Structure 1
Amino acid sequence: MNTKDGKVSEGGLNVTLTIRLLMHGKEVGSIIGKKGETVKKMREESGARINISEGTCPERIVTITGPTDAIFKAFSMIALKFEEDINASMTNSTVTSKPPVTLRLVVPASQCGSLIGKGGSKIKEIRESTGAQVQVAGDMLPNSTERAVTISGTPDAIIQCVKQICVVMLESPPKGATIPYRPKPASAPIIFAGGQAFTIQGQYAIPHPDLTKLHQLAMQHPPFTPLGQTTPGFPGLDATTPTSSHELTIPNDLIGCIIGRQGSKINEIRQMSGAQIKIANATEGSAERQVTITGSPANISLAQYLINARLSSEVTGLGAL
């Protein structure tokens, strides 16, 4: 153990710190335990505050706050619990190699540079001295300024690794404002299958009759292009087709969630609604972007619904836009 680690565990850097973890629902269930017994025990024995984000999201945020030694104790209890789960799952399985314990930390992007170090020197040093695998995600988590840092290894390697990460985080605090990552509710995705609309909740697809009606209406009304391709001579793309258009303004900071990575979300909305959607370029000095939806009334109302669904899943409470 190097002196830096010794100093941390002996309380040389014993200041209050907050570490955020991203966990799947199943992992959270394991941490909470029956009637909350496991998390209660972790709180009592470690002396750290352990908060678990509310909601029906497939992912939850677990926040651990306290003096560094309390955080390390909480982490060691979580890592050992996960190892127990792995051992239990292996008793009935034919898998011979034991998977490592994996934890995902959520770290402000402004601190990730210090964690990686010049030319990757710091992260290499952490990997070598702890024996844990450490990976910093290349992209920020959706709609936040945080990145996921995945640590995997034996519980002991993980605890040593968390200690070193804490030192880095204390030595180089985040710069600027941090927009924390908030997992999205599981009910946000909408799928269309066999002419019916479903919202996804957990592992189940729940039929959505209102949306199904809109979807079927939109499919009957031209202009509808099968995959957003405008094929000359495609029926329903005749210039005489009666279409109307509708304009929306969307704040710049939310336009990204409508467009999606490389336009994936906007293309999905175009495909599902059969409407044409144009997003104006950002104008200088304006905090909003103009969005024009063209198509039959059914196409437009479905496109609007899908845009609002994206916005409301993004920022809860904006569903009434």
Structure 2
Amino acid sequence: MEPTKVQSEGGLNVTLTIRLLMHGKKGETVKKMREESGARINISEGNCPERIVTITGPTDTIFKAFAMIAYKFEEDIINSMSNSPATSKPPVTLRLVVPASQCGSLIGKGGSKIKEMRESTGAQVQVAGDMLPNSTERAVTISGTPEAIIHCVKQICVVMLESPPKGATIPYRPKPASTPVIFSGGQAYTIQGQYAIPHPDQLTKLHQLAMQQTPFTPLGQTTPAFPGLDASPPASTHELTIPNDLIGCIIGRQGTKINEIRQMSGAQIKISNAMEGSSERQITITGTPANISLAQYLINARLTSEVTGMGTV
């Protein structure tokens, strides 16, 4: 059997899309790259410090575009060094955005593939352990000389063509970054001081979710024989410990704040009595996961406003 012909003049001539994370505005440069590489290059809009650059085309045009990007970055590094006392030239670094379902193939069994890439190209390759916020994509960071990077991108393209993404990919979209965002348990949080606060748009969703009284039946689970007995999602319980001196801001005057939090979140909230010798109080929140998340958020928001003196929330 004849081997299938994938090679064509040093590139795998298949149409492929590669996504890249970049900082700043590089409009004119991109225009030039489009013309010279023949690849389709799009840049995400929005006032985000990070942009997603999507490069689509036959693989040889993608490699040309990447070569131009790598050399452009190197040129920027050299220019910025001419005004700085640093003597050693930092490597060029590119960040690709790759569907998480393809990252396993890039890493290989026990890290074998990524190790082979590092050794054969001389570039440093790292696959982020966590997915990018609100997406099923991971960042793959490649750094080294432009030549090493181009070599490495070629190998990554081969792997991506050999193992296409499985299932639907939720693409990463950079958020206008005013504060860092973390992603946990399907929920986006921004960090304010030492508290994690859900994203405003996430908060509305969460509130709607908490207020939905519709039964939540996991797939494959049959409805109970006695409807009404098990109509609501299983309630879970979450405990928080709050310093005594901050409990007042959560309870509010004659319990007004805590009642507000109970109403808004739909969760049951119990605050333990002050224990002798203990400087902390236990808060027990019971409800669906959405109720609990919302109650936790509202409690954190109260604490944040108290601790940072941001006024009432």
User: TM tier, shorter chain?
Assistant: 0.5 to 0.7
Letter in 2 for 1:229: I
Q: Distance in 1 between matches of 2:284 and 2:169?
A: 32
> Given that residues 21 and 104 in structure 1 are in contact (C-alpha distance below 8 angstroms), is that contact kept between their aligned partners in structure 2?
yes
Cross-structure match for 2:100: 109
The 1:47–1:277 alpha-carbon spacing in structure 2 relative to 1, beyond 3 Å, is: farther
Tell me if 1:86 matches 2:86.
Answer: no
> Given that residues 8 and 163 in structure 1 are in contact (C-alpha distance below 8 angstroms), is that contact kept between their aligned partners in structure 2?
no
Tell me if 1:51 matches 2:42.
Answer: yes
The 1:192–1:89 alpha-carbon spacing in structure 2 relative to 1, beyond 3 Å, is: same
Q: Distance in 2 between matches of 1:192 and 1:128?
A: 42
> Given that residues 38 and 61 in structure 2 are in contact (C-alpha distance below 8 angstroms), is that contact kept between their aligned partners in structure 1?
yes
The 1:113–1:54 alpha-carbon spacing in structure 2 relative to 1, beyond 3 Å, is: same
Superposition deviation, residue 293 in structure 1: 7.5
Superposition deviation, residue 235 in structure 1: 5.8
Letter in 2 for 1:154: T
Superposition deviation, residue 240 in structure 1: 7.1
Tell me if 1:241 matches 2:254.
Answer: yes
Tell me if 1:280 matches 2:287.
Answer: yes
Matches within 5 A, 1:12-161: 13-25=12-24, 29=25, 31-32=26-27, 36=28, 38-161=29-152
> Given that residues 83 and 155 in structure 1 are in contact (C-alpha distance below 8 angstroms), is that contact kept between their aligned partners in structure 2?
yes
The 1:140–1:277 alpha-carbon spacing in structure 2 relative to 1, beyond 3 Å, is: farther
> Given that residues 277 and 292 in structure 1 are in contact (C-alpha distance below 8 angstroms), is that contact kept between their aligned partners in structure 2?
no
TM-score by length of 1: 0.61
Superposition deviation, residue 47 in structure 1: 0.4
Larger Cα-atom Rg: 2
Aligned-pair identity (%)? 70
Q: Distance in 2 between matches of 1:233 and 1:108?
A: 43
The 1:299–1:96 alpha-carbon spacing in structure 2 relative to 1, beyond 3 Å, is: closer
Q: Distance in 1 between matches of 2:247 and 2:291?
A: 31
Cross-structure match for 1:215: none
Letter in 2 for 1:62: V
The 1:62–1:238 alpha-carbon spacing in structure 2 relative to 1, beyond 3 Å, is: closer
Deviations 1:184-205 (CA, angstroms, capped at 9, x unpaired): 1134678989xxxxxxxxxxxx
Letter in 1 for 2:20: L
> Given that residues 249 and 302 in structure 2 are in contact (C-alpha distance below 8 angstroms), is that contact kept between their aligned partners in structure 1?
no
Q: Distance in 2 between matches of 1:111 and 1:87?
A: 34
Deviations 1:24-43 (CA, angstroms, capped at 9, x unpaired): 22xxx2x32xxx2x211100
Tell me if 1:230 matches 2:243.
Answer: yes
Q: Distance in 1 between matches of 2:51 and 2:138?
A: 15
Cross-structure match for 2:169: 178
Cross-structure match for 1:256: none
TM-score by length of 2: 0.63
Deviations 1:164-223 (CA, angstroms, capped at 9, x unpaired): 000000000000111111111134678989xxxxxxxxxxxxxxxxxxxxxxxxxxxxxx
Q: Distance in 2 between matches of 1:67 and 1:240?
A: 67
Letter in 2 for 1:162: V
Letter in 2 for 1:18: T
Task: Tell me the matched-pair count.
Answer: 225
The 1:281–1:42 alpha-carbon spacing in structure 2 relative to 1, beyond 3 Å, is: same
Q: Distance in 1 between matches of 2:80 and 2:115?
A: 32
Q: Distance in 2 between matches of 1:277 and 1:9?
A: 66
> Given that residues 18 and 65 in structure 1 are in contact (C-alpha distance below 8 angstroms), is that contact kept between their aligned partners in structure 2?
yes
Q: Distance in 2 between matches of 1:157 and 1:107?
A: 19
Q: Distance in 2 between matches of 1:10 and 1:62?
A: 24
SS of the residue corresponding to residue 93 of structure 1 reads coil
Deviations 1:258-299 (CA, angstroms, capped at 9, x unpaired): xxxxxxxxxxxxxxxxxx9957344xxxxx656348999x95
> Given that residues 277 and 293 in structure 1 are in contact (C-alpha distance below 8 angstroms), is that contact kept between their aligned partners in structure 2?
no
SS of the residue corresponding to residue 147 of structure 1 reads strand
Superposition deviation, residue 236 in structure 1: 6.2
The unaligned stretches of length 5 or more in structure 2 are 1-5, 181-189, 194-239, 267-282, 307-313
The 1:188–1:121 alpha-carbon spacing in structure 2 relative to 1, beyond 3 Å, is: closer
Letter in 2 for 1:230: P
